[in-house]
Chain A
Amino acid sequence: MRIAIVDESPARASVIQEGLAELDDCEIFVLSGRDRLLAQIGEIAPDIVLMDLGNPSRDVLEEYFAVSRVLDRPIAMFVDESDEESIAASVEAGVSAYVVDGLAASRIRSLLDLAVRRFRAFARLQADLAEARGRLAEREAVDKAKRILMDSRGLPEPEAYAELRRTAMNQGRRIADIAEALITAHELMGRT
């Protein structure tokens, strides 16, 4: 079975490729670029095309599948009505699948399940990364707010931190929020 993965994020494409590698007798092709996308699909002649929902070329590809006479076998979006659940899950995970006519439904389903799992795993990785970045930014804000207090009120570092913590507790807010507010106020006063 020949599988084409169309994804402008090479990182995600490789996560999916790795996941599908465990399937027997599958040949996997990854297409990340926009140039010659249709020509490449024509050359590969895939049985299945997996494409992320955020890809702006989806409309181009759908038109190609609908009207192209280059492909010997028609390709349709995987919308067998008995498989509503699979499709809903794939849309949820952010992947669309186009399947060549006549491919066994059971094979499609196991492949799609696997792809959906990999998409979800990638989304989790990204969420973790975003959270880690957020935590880093918060720590930087707290450090900056501490320095402002140390400079403007001559407090030693532990006192400056204690002041931030006290204010946060009194106002029922997070230390990072208090730090942000302090930095903003400081900037508004023209003291950067």
Chain B
Amino acid sequence: MKTEMNIGFLPLVDACLPILAQEHGFAEEQGLTLRLVKDVSWATVLDRLLYGHSDAAHLVAPLAIATTLGRGRPAQPLSVPFVLGLNGNAITMRPELAARVSPAGRLGDPAIVGAALAEIALARAAAGNPMRFGVVHRYSSHNYMMRYWLAACGIRPDKDVEIATVPPPFCADALAAGEVDAICVGEPWNSVAVERGAGVIVLATAQLWRRGVEKVLAFRESVMEQQRGSVEALILALRKAGAHFVDPDNWEANAAILARKEYLDGDARLIKRAISDRLLLAQGQETVHFPDFMFQYREAANFPWVSQAQWFYTQMVRWDGLEFDPAEAQKAAQVFRPDVYRSALAGTGEPLPGASSKVEGSLSGPLAVSMQQGDMVMTNNRFFDGLVFDPEDLPGYLAKLP
């Protein structure tokens, strides 16, 4: 078993689990030493993974699928045995735009905010001065969630509005300089923009899809197979770190650890807001509590549901202008590896769902699900527009989308 693992990450709050697994000794309990390798672009995190500088990476979920399918570079199969967290991103707008589309002092209803935004966006497009939105990467959940929301509100991405890549550390600058009208980014970068008076947080992505997949733990498929023992030990350590992360008693200490220079090199106050599901939407206001803003542990949040990978595949087809291809869909689905997650946690007290795939967006209230091990009640997992994603019929789902 390999006892030292290098894990690539970008300085974001949702890189928390591997960092805390190392800092609190959960990795050591499993015989592992984790070395966290910080980078400043997803391209470099991915290069290090592909060329063996890192064994695993904190990665935007769709990039793992795009890499496997060979989008933008020759295909290299990646595997995801563990989801590092759900949601945790927000949409932040320039203050004058926010004032026109959203209620002051609270998060608005995505459909109502979207309708107000559509009027402005369509007028700007007609005047030849289209609005510009920033997302952190082409193959990011940020990009797909933003597009999903815009399209459902009658705004056509790439036609009525422009969507461009803006690296997280530059988001506040881009808003302040008017290079973009809004950004979709993870924490602490929305809060940094708010602190600077450059932006107002208008929506949390959890409002768009209550259980949307965010970062994943990605391996090269061959490396995951060769280092299977270490991979499973790491999964155990990360689950322990997740339990620690969501316990309110630990928020202060964990925020201080994440804020350190070698990790996020940021403000512990802002980091603590994100991990306690609190957001300061605009300067001079009180923080608001939005439960499930980040979702790293409960309801087997780390279980890599195959249907989540399939949802991202449908969004790639939708926005990359490609034909639906059943063979590609199959490859995309196989990136997520619930079998490895199950094998790592079998025989522990951890909840293990019996199914590997689920209908996404169908729950508005609690439902006890059938389990291979443990008990679990799943709660609201809706998309804001009420559409339901059935992984058994991807073309049918694509046909329903605007």
Contacts and interface: CB of A to CB of B under 8 A. Distances in A.
A54 interface: yes
B170 A56 contact: yes
Interface string B21-45: 0000000000000000001111110
B165 A60 contact: yes
Contacts of B40: 54-56
A187 interface: no
Contacts of A96: 43-44, 47
A91 to B, nearest CB: 4
B164 interface: yes
Given A53-B39, A79-B73, A79-B74, A59 B47 contact: no
B51 A56 contact: no
Contacts of A57: 41, 167
B44 A53 contact: yes
Contact of B138 (A63, A77, A91): A63
A173 interface: no
A58 B168 CA distance: 12
B210 interface: no
Contacts of B47: 53, 91, 96
B136 interface: yes
A67 B43 CA distance: 16
Contacts, number: 61
Describe B's contact surface by its main secondary structure.
Answer: loop
- Give the interface centre of A59, A67, A76 by most chain B CB atoms within 10 Å: A59
Chain A contact residues, majority secondary structure: helix
A56 B167 contact: yes
B166 interface: yes
Contacts of A66: 72, 138
| Size bracket, chain A contacts | 20 to 34
Contact of A63 (B44, B73, B164): B164
A88 interface: yes
Contacts of A81: 74
B74 A34 contact: no
Contact of B53 (A54, A55, A63, A91): A91
A60 B53 CA distance: 23
Interface residues of B, number: 23
B167 A59 contact: yes
A60 B170 CA distance: 11
B94 interface: no
Interface string A28-72: 000000100000000000000000011111111011001100000
A66 to B, nearest CB: 5
A87 interface: yes
A79 B73 CA distance: 7
Interface in B192-218: none
B147 interface: no
Interface in B40-73: 40-44, 47-48, 51-53, 72-73
Contacts of A79: 73-74
Given A34-B170, A88-B51, A91-B51, A55 B41 contact: yes
B169 to A, nearest CB: 6
A81 B52 CA distance: 16
Nearest to A67: B138
A64 B75 CA distance: 20
A67 B157 CA distance: 14
B165 A54 contact: no
Interface string B161-175: 000111101100000
B106 interface: no
B233 to A, nearest CB: 27
A96 B51 CA distance: 12
A76 B73 CA distance: 7
A77 B165 CA distance: 17
A92 interface: yes
Given A77-B73, A79-B74, A91-B53, A59 B137 contact: yes
Nearest to A81: B74
Nearest to B140: A59
Nearest to B41: A58
Contacts of A91: 47-48, 51, 53
Nearest to B53: A91
Given A66-B138, A76-B73, A58 B44 contact: yes
25 contacts: A53-B39, A53-B41, A55-B41, A56-B40, A56-B170, A58-B41, A59-B41, A59-B42, A59-B43, A59-B136, A59-B137, A59-B165, A59-B167, A62-B72, A62-B138, A66-B72, A76-B73, A81-B74, A87-B51, A88-B51, A88-B52, A91-B47, A91-B53, A96-B43, A96-B47
Given A62-B43, A76-B73, A81-B74, 19 more contacts: A53-B44, A54-B40, A54-B44, A55-B40, A59-B41, A59-B43, A59-B136, A59-B138, A59-B165, A62-B138, A63-B164, A67-B138, A79-B73, A79-B74, A88-B51, A91-B47, A91-B51, A91-B53, A92-B53
Interface of A: 34, 53-60, 62-63, 66-67, 76-77, 79, 81, 87-88, 91-92, 96
